[in-house]
Amino acid sequence: MITRFRQIEMRLMGPLTMIPIVLLLVILGTIAALPVVATILSELVADFVPPPLQHLTIVALGTAGFVGILALNPIYSIWLERKVAAHVQDRLGPMRVGWHGLLQSFADGVKLMFKEDLVPRDADRVLFGAAPMLAVASAFAAFAIVPWGVREDGTVLAVANLNIGVLYFIAITSLGALSVLMAGWGSNNKYALYGGMRAAAQMVSYEIPTAILVLVVVAQVGSLSIPDIVNAQAGGILGVGDWLIFQLFPLNLIAFVLFFICGLAETNRTPFDIPEAESELVAGFHTEYSGMRFAFFFLAEYGNMLLVSMLAALLFLGGWIGPFGSNPLLFFVKGFGLVVVQMWLRWTLPRLRVDQLMGICWKYVIPISFFLLVVTTVIKGLL
């Protein structure tokens, strides 16, 4: 009987397994061919859509594709995280559902969707409901300014090519702290409250060095627009040499490391995961959440991880510029590479205590980043 069941399962799972693989290939292919796709799309739109609506249609299509990729991001990221964790810990990780467990996250997603949506009796229903939405919204909205590449005619592939892109990034990510605070307060649970307060303190503190480190880059390039910052890194040896991280050695290298640390702190990842410290606060600010609302926090967390990694790749690692010319896929690989580093750190390091975390921020990271800002500006001025 069990064998029979297993056979049926195998027959069903075989073709189903192909879905995530095909999806992944489609996503990667689309990203690699993004400039071409964009050209074809805009030509198609020019042919079939009346002129007044053309701009709107292109933006809508771009946004839809983008949100689709972002919604699929956690599914692959969670799979990746579990695989990274498993191999760090000398085990296999998910292996049963699909090829090497690729369908596991889809199954979990379906499970979460069908789970009962519990709201504690004494919770503040408005805040409780709004918090996960705000979390996802802030994580996704920040992606609007992330450029994926340039077309040959110079058009930037981004949902919104703002000339003050980095400011927008700093502004939008601050909203994440608000959502966590809302979740912590609205749950009417002491552990959630502790998580919320910790998260608010942590995120607000680490926003300062993040902003200063972004300014370090801005001061060197002389532009607030992210495409300009990336384009300034083009050229050099193998297309690598002029990446900002290699300029003014080692100042920018330090800036990159600090920026990455701040990114970890802002996304609440180990060793800075004190707002959801499992062993202390049960689950921190999302203790009382279940089902889809819980999944939304996950969506936001993995979105934020990718966002921070992509920003670091754009500001310091040359974005889509690399030894093989400029390609959106290269940018994607850099972003996910940094995501893997985040995961690797998470499964290796213990957690800091809240006062130590604040101490690191105010005693070391902020002074050093101010120092970097001053020194790079002075050097740039002298050159």
Partner 1 sequence: MAEQRSPVDGAPLVTLYDEELPPDNSYAFSSEELEEDEMILNMGPQHPSTHGVLRVELKTDGEIVKDARPHIGYLHRNFEKHAENIDYQGVIPFTDRMDYVGSMGNSLAYALTVEKLLGIGVGERVAGIRVITAELQRIASHLLAMGTYGMDIGAFTPFLLCFQQRERILDLFEWLCGARLLYNYNWVGGVSHDLPEGWTDKCRRFLDEFVPVLDEVDTLLSHNKIFIRRTADIGIITPDMAKDYALSGPNLRGSGIDWDLRRDDPYLGYENYDFNVVVATSPHGPVGSCWDRYFVRVREMYESVKIVRQALDRLPAEGDVHENVPRFVRPLAGEAYCRSEAPRGELAFYIVAENKKPIPYRVKGRSPCFVAMGLFHEITRGEMIADIIAIIGSLDIVLGEIDR
Residues 6+ apart with CB under 8 A from 102: 17, 20, 21, 79
Q: Provide the H-helix boundaries in 187-322.
A: 190-221, 226-231, 251-266, 278-281, 291-316
Nearer to partner 1, 163 or 348 (CB): 348
The DSSP 8-state label assigned to residue 60 in this structure reads: H
89 interacts with partner 1 by CB under 8 A: yes
Q: Does residue 219 interact with partner 1 by CB under 8 A?
A: no
CA 128 from centroid of its chain's CA atoms: 24
321-360 residues in contact with partner 1 (CB under 8 A) are: 347-356
Number of residues that bind partner 1 (CB under 8 A): 27
229 and 278 Cβ atoms separated by less than 8 Å: no
Of 75, 166, 181, whose CA–CA distance to 134 is shortest? Answer: 181
Return the H-helix or E-strand segment holding 325.
strand 325-326
Query: Contact 319/230 with Cβ under 8 angstroms?
Result: yes
Closest to partner 1 by CB, 159 vs 200, is 200
Q: How far is the CB of 283 from partner 1 (least distance, A)?
A: 9
CB of 122 to partner 1, least distance (A): 16
Taking the least distance from each CB to partner 1, the nearer of 266 and 273 is 273
Residues 252-281 that bind partner 1 (CB under 8 A): 270-271, 273-274, 277-281
Q: Which amino acid is at 150?
A: V
> Per DSSP, what are the bridge partners of residue 326?
321
Residue of 218, 176, 162 lying closest to 307 (CA atoms): 176
Query: By CB under 8 A, is residue 116 in contact with partner 1?
Result: no
Residues in the chain, total:
383
The number of CA neighbours under 13 Å toward the Cβ of 320 is 23
CA distance 333 to 328: 9
Give me the least distance between CB of 353 and partner 1, in Å please: 5
3-state secondary structure of 28: helix
Residue 87 interacts with partner 1 (CB under 8 A): yes or no: no
| Of residues 28 and 86, the one with the C-beta less far from partner 1 | 86
Binding of partner 1 at residue 189 (CB under 8 A)? Answer: no
CB of 349: closest distance to partner 1 in angstroms? Answer: 6
Residue 282 in contact with partner 1, rule: CB under 8 A: yes
- Considering the complex, state which of residue 157 and residue 352 has its C-beta at the smaller distance from partner 1: 352
Count of other CB atoms within 10 angstroms of residue 168: 18
Q: What is the nearest approach in angstroms of partner 1 to the Cβ of residue 3?
A: 28
- 11, 96, 125, 190: which one binds partner 1 (CB under 8 A): 190
In the complex, minimum distance from the CB of residue 93 to partner 1, in angstroms, rounded to a whole number: 11
202 binds partner 1 (CB under 8 A): no
381 binds partner 1 (CB under 8 A): no
What's the burial of 320, exposed, middle or buried (CB within 10 Å: 0-12/13-18/19+)? buried
Q: For partner 1, which is the closer residue by CB, 108 or 276?
A: 276
Q: Minimal distance in Å, beta carbon 343 to partner 1?
A: 12
Which CB atom, from 192 or from 224, has the smaller least distance to partner 1? 192
Tokens of 56: 């709107």
Stretch that binds partner 1, among 46-54, 87-95, 114-122, 180-188 (CB under 8 A): 87-95
Positions touching partner 1 (CB under 8 A) are: 85, 88-91, 190, 194, 270-271, 273-274, 277-282, 347-356
